[in-house]
Amino acid sequence: MDTTHFRAEILKALGQPTRLKIIDFLRDGERCVCEIFPAIGEEQSNTSRHLNLMVSTGILFRRKEGVKIFYALKHMEIMEIVDLATQIMTQEITGRHRLLKAA
């Protein structure tokens, strides 16, 4: 089986600023939409769409409680991936500093 598309879909879901902000915010645990969209500074509507997308992709849990709907990270691996991306970013930035100083 070729898993390329499935794996790309997961990584693509993480590679978008608004979704990444949501994921950062969900690190501390489950949150409802009404907490998420003010925290990340996006419209309720837009936030809802991104949350739905990430549930479809399989990286978020959804739980209903009364009127509120709570979302949470479904896999610890998601945080690890984001942390590794941060490491790469840091290396790139310091690497460029080194180049700038040398020039």
Partner DNA sequence: CGGATATATGATTGAGTGATCATATAATAG
Partner DNA sequence: CTATTATATGATCACTCAATCATATATCCG
Residues that bind a copy of itself (CB under 8 A): 3-17, 19-21, 24, 58-59, 75, 77-78, 80-82, 84-89, 91-92
Q: Are 62 and 70 in contact (CB under 8 A)?
A: yes
Among 18, 20, 39, 74, binds DNA (CB under 7 A): 18
Question: Greatest CA span in the chain, whole angstroms?
Answer: 60
Is residue 42 involved in binding DNA (CB under 7 A)? yes
Contacting residues toward DNA, per CB under 7 A: 12, 16-19, 32-34, 42-46, 48-53, 62, 66-70
